[in-house]
Structure formats: C-alpha cells, structure tokens
Structure 1
C-alpha cells in the first residue's frame, strides 16, 4: 500500500484547497524520496490515507504528472517517475545555458530598484539558512526564488514560462537530495546579484554561466555516485 508518513491534518478546507494541500504533500514526498522513483501510487489508497474523497487526489496526481514527477500508465494507474539519467540531465543544463546567462545580462540592464532589493534580500536569506537543521530544504527553496527573481528582473515573461515548463528546479532537487546542500551555491548566487546590482551585463552573464556549469558538475558527481 502506498503511504506517506507524517501527513498533516487537512482540516475542513474547500475542495480546491484540499487538492492544493494533497499536491504539496505528495510533491514533497516524491522530491525527498519518501515516495521513491518508480513506485506505484494508488489514488484510492491515498484518498483513504488523507481522509478525503478521491477527487482532490486525482487533481493532485494530474498536476504531478504535468510536473513530470508521476507518470500515468494505461490500465495500470500512476507511478512515480524515474530520476533523470545523464542524457536528460545534459539536455536540461544545455537548455539552462541557453536561457539563463542572457537572462542575467538583461536583468543587469533592466532591473528596478525594487527587484534589486528583492535579490539582495534573497541572498541574505540563503546565507542565513546555511548550517541550519533544515538547510537543504530552505536552500533549495532559496534557489527556486533566486532564479525566478532574475527572470522577472530581466522582464522576459516568455523566457520565464519556458524555464518553468521544464520544471528544472524539481528535477534538480530530486536528483540531488541527500539531506545536505552545497553552500557554494549561495555564494555563486551572490556573484550574480553583485553583477546585476552593478549593472554589468557581461559579468552577470558570466557569473550565471559559471553557476550553471558548476551546478551541472555537482549533479553529475551525485548521479555517478
């Protein structure tokens, strides 16, 4: 039977809120390995465990399928998807190298003071999370917010949409999950923000490219081990 330990009380929320909560709990369970790759997920069993009707569980599973975290098989139901392999990882980082260095350069040229303040605040949050008991989760969330802020500062909604549709952050989190986090990432983010703050497009592009290449190297080490 498919179970997720430590389910929160879902209370008497509306159906939409229930679906959101079920989705959030299931997403985290897949990302941190509580539901391992290629695990059968039965909607009826999960509905009983969550003490909800099957509808919010089905809605959550549909969203997880869109994320690439579960796969629906004809006549067999859902299974959690496999981790990215080396070729898929290479393709994902090739896409990031096409999208993000140029985006960082545009952010250096176009960012508003409000957007810059948000980026600086995000670096402070990342540094504060280093060494805490839940550093990996906090810093993974920091990573998602930082890259989102850079895209928004660049003022290119199409590039942001393209990035979000790949769900890069979800697959990276899932592949790298070890309960620890490399603090070097925060300092790489800081270099990007420093360049954006200076309005130095070339430096911002270079810092983002180095960060993505370093991230790819770190993940390949994890994958190979």
Structure 2
C-alpha cells in the first residue's frame, strides 16, 4: 500500500478516510479477499483507528468489504459469473419496473414541475468521460457516481420506497468489478440513458421499460469479457 495514499487533510475527516480506503479497494491495492489491518491503515493515513473503522462500516454497506466475527474486515471478492447473471436478472426486474412507473407518472403531469424533473434527469443521464491525466479508479470515479445517481433517481421517482432501496443495494455489487470497468461504457451508456429519458418524457411505460431493459442488457454484454479472462473494452 506504500505510496498509494496521502494523509487525510480534508475538512471532513471521516469522508476523507472513506474515499481513501475506497480508492484502495477499487484499485486492488487491497486485493479481493485480503484481510484489512485497521491499525496499519490508520498509521498510513495518519489518523486514529476510529475514522478507519467508521469508513469500513460504510464500505461494508457499499458491499466493498465484509466483516466476520473475530476475524475483522476483508475486501469483498469479485463477482462470479453466476452471481453476475443473478445481479443482471434482478436489475432487469427492478429497474425496468422503475422506468415504467416513472414514465406513467410523467404521463399524468404535463406541467412545469415535470419539465424541471426531466431536465434534472437528462442532466444526470449525460455521463462524464474518463478524467484526463488520471488512472485506475480516479479516472472513472465521476462516471460511476453519476451513473449511480441516474439509476437511483429513477428508482426514487418510481414512488416505491422498497423498490428504491433494493436498487440501491444491488447497485453496490457493481463496485466489485473495480479495475475491470469496461471503457466502452463511456459515451455508450450516456446515449442509452438519454434514450431512457426520451421514453420517460413521452409518458409511455412500455417504451421506457424497453429502453431500460436494452440498456441493462447492453451494459451486461460489455462486462462479459471480464469473465472470459480478457480485458473489458
């Protein structure tokens, strides 16, 4: 881990430690399945063990680390192909439903408020590309965060709180790809997102559901080279 972290100096110490440890996990500086030494990590960050423990608790809820009684924290393993297929199946069920419900809501709201919400949704759909001059997780962090916001926003606007919570929980599993993020997501995902927004704007649940389904299946295809032992492209 030497040289991979800088001391935590941002105003919110807990957030700084969280982001630093998250970057380690996403970049495989802490390998999948590796045990996490809290004291060593605290020394490296020049903080007490308390904010490190707080960060690990948050990362556990993100699905990036696991805690076992008497054994402490370990980095979560990468998804198997079977687990990935299950994840895709669940996302198809939940997120297709959320897109349909949101489109149905907009069909009954031809007002200025609806127009403002569509503008917000379109803004989140237009994903940023890779950050110039960076590598590893730092290069894709902005993309992954905004991509999550887009999907979470649709689930939230579905009006079903349990559906929204389920989508957020499932989304965490995508972090387990870490370094195996397909470069083809840049630009392609944004165009697919915008097709979803256009379908929602028509108030047509069938069109919105189909656009979401097409996006999820295409995104899944872009991840498949990881399971075939070749770099994602």
- Normalising by structure 1, what TM-score? 0.85
Secondary structure class of the residue paired with 1:6: coil
- Matching of residue 177 in structure 1 with residue 176 in structure 2: no
* Separation of aligned partners in 2, 1:80 and 1:122: 30
| Contact residue 30 and residue 174 of structure 1 kept, 8 A | no
* Partner of residue 109, structure 2: none
Deviation at 1:84, TM superposition (A): 0.5
Higher mean C-alpha displacement, 23-32 vs 131-140: 131-140
1:10/1:21 contact within 8 Å kept: yes
Match of 2:16 in 1: 21
- 2:92 is aligned, of 83, 92, 97, to 97
Corresponding residue number in structure 1 for 2:169: 165
Listed as ranges, the gaps of 5+ residues in structure 2 are 107-113
Q: Which residue of 1 aligns with 2:6?
A: 7
1:52 aligns with one of 47, 53, 68? 47
CA RMSD of aligned residues (A): 2.2
Aligned pair count?
215
Per-residue CA distance 1:73-111 (angstroms, 9 max, x = gap): 444432211101011111111111110111101111214
Choose which of 207, 215, 222 in structure 1 pairs with 2:219.
Answer: 215
Q: How does 1:52-91 map to 2 (within 5 A)?
A: 52-91=47-86
Aligned equivalents of 2:115, 2:3: Cα separation in 1: 43
Counterpart secondary structure, 1:122: helix
State the 1:28 CA deviation.
2.4
1:151-195: per-residue Cα shift (whole Å, max 9, x none)?
1222222211111123x2x43244163473422111111110110
Aligned mates of 2:53, 2:123 — CA distance in 1 = 38
Residue 25 of structure 2 contacts residue 178 of structure 2 at CA under 8 Å; is this kept in 1? Answer: no
2-side partners of 1:173 and 1:198: how far apart?
A: 32
Q: Is the 8 A contact 1:175 1:223 kept in 2?
A: no
Unaligned runs of 5+ in 1: none
Matched, 1:155 2:159: yes
Counterpart of 1:122 in structure 2 is 124
